[in-house]
């Protein structure tokens, strides 16, 4: 079980069908060899959503030091160790999971395999500087569901 040679955009169709018809795909790109970014908009909600899927090889993740607006905590997804990160910033709201597929085979090497799935929300349009910048909320339950979809493609 690992991520070498896997395509982070491979589960795009399943992700889009989970989000439903209210969201229209406006962009899909690779921002690295193992990172896929999907940009969607929901005009009815005035919301732009970004789904990021990334595969990585590095040391065990730690939640970090939480602040009032950015939090990280350990959790499990489908029995795998994960770190959930959430942010409640004015311009964007996000929830994401970094799931450890396989621990490092050598504790001195950075070869643990991770799948990260992030979901962030921003306001679709800000007309002027006096307009409210507040981003619509994002669902961690949806981020978990998308994480499970991506995990099914790499297991």
Q: Hey, how many other C-beta atoms are within 10 angstroms of the C-beta on 33?
A: 8
Per-residue pLDDT tens over the stretch 103-141: 766 666 666 788 999 999 887 776 666 566 677 788 899
Give phi and psi for 122, each to the nearest 5. Answer: -140, 160
Query: Contact at 8 Å (CB) between 90 and 82?
Result: no
Burial (CB < 10 A; 0-12, 13-18, 19+), residue 146, is buried
User: In percent, how much of the chain has pLDDT > 90?
Assistant: 44
Per-residue pLDDT tens over the stretch 7-17: 899 999 999 99
3-state class of 30 per DSSP? strand
pTM of the model: 0.84
Question: What pLDDT was estimated at residue 57?
Answer: 77
- Residue 148: partners with Cβ closer than 8 Å, 6 or more residues away: 77, 78
72, β-bridge pairs: 85
């Amino acid at each position: 079980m690992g991520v070498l040679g896997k395509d982070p955009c491979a589960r795009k169709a399943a992700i889009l069908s989970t989000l439903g018809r209210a969201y229209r795909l406006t962009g899909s790109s690779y921002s690295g060899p193992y990172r896929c970014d999907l940009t969607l908009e929901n005009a009815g909600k005035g919301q732009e959503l970004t789904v990021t899927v990334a595969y990585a090889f590095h040391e065990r993740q730690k939640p970090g030091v939480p602040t009032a607006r950015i939090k990280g905590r350990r959790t499990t997804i489908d029995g795998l160790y994960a770190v959930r990160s959430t942010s409640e910033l004015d311009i964007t709201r996000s929830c994401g999971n970094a799931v450890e597929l396989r621990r490092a085979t050598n504790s001195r090497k950075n070869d643990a395999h991770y799948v990260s799935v992030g979901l962030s929300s921003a306001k679709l349009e800000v007309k002027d500087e006096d307009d409210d910048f507040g981003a619509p909320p994002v669902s961690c339950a949806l981020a978990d569901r998308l994480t499970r979809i991506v995990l099914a493609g790499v297991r």
